């Protein structure tokens, strides 16, 4: 039974979805909401920045990070990249922004917020719900 996987895949309520401004407008949820969903469904988890990415002048522009959780009794580790959309002169802030992006991307690989990336092609939650009903 994939109870936790189903719960991770549930789309977020519209009240938690925000719109990114600009010409590349996109729907998103804040990293704090992603963290809440992870804690709600899988409980404590581990998240680590594995590598910091910098440009030639030493400005932090991204990171590679790993999220480790247990989903439906199976330990899972997911590594992803996070980037900094508008790097500042403060590398601490840049790294926080990169890590925030990375945890959202890791969580997406587990189904969290995947509906925002997939948009009208999203079906995972319905497929998992059907599987739950059969089990």
Could you report the per-residue pLDDT of 36-81, keeping only the tens digit for each?
Answer: 999 999 999 999 999 999 999 999 999 999 999 999 999 999 999 9
pTM score of the predicted model: 0.91
Q: Which structural domains are found in the chain, ordered by start?
A: 3-116 (3.30.390.80)
Render pLDDT for 11-25 as a digit per residue (tens, 0 to 9): 999 999 999 887 777
Whole-number pLDDT of residue 132: 82
| Contact between 78 and 106 (Cβ < 8 Å) | yes
Q: Quickly list H helices, the chain.
A: 3-9, 31-42, 91-109, 114-118, 124-134
């Amino acid at each position: 039974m994939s109870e936790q996987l189903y719960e991770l895949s549930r789309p977020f309520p519209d009240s938690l979805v925000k719109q990114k401004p600009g010409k590349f407008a996109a729907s998103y949820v804040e990293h704090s909401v992603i963290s809440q969903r992870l804690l709600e469904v899988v409980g404590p988890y581990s998240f680590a920045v594995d590598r910091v990415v910098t440009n030639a002048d030493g400005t932090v522009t991204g990171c590679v990070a790993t999220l480790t959780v247990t989903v439906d009794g199976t330990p899972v580790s997911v590594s992803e990249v996070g980037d900094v959309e508008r790097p500042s002169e403060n590398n601490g802030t840049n790294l926080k922004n990169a890590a925030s992006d990375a945890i959202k991307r890791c969580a997406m690989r587990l189904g969290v917020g995947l509906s925002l990336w997939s948009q009208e092609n999203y079906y995972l939650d319905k497929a998992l719900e059907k599987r739950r009903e059969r089990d």
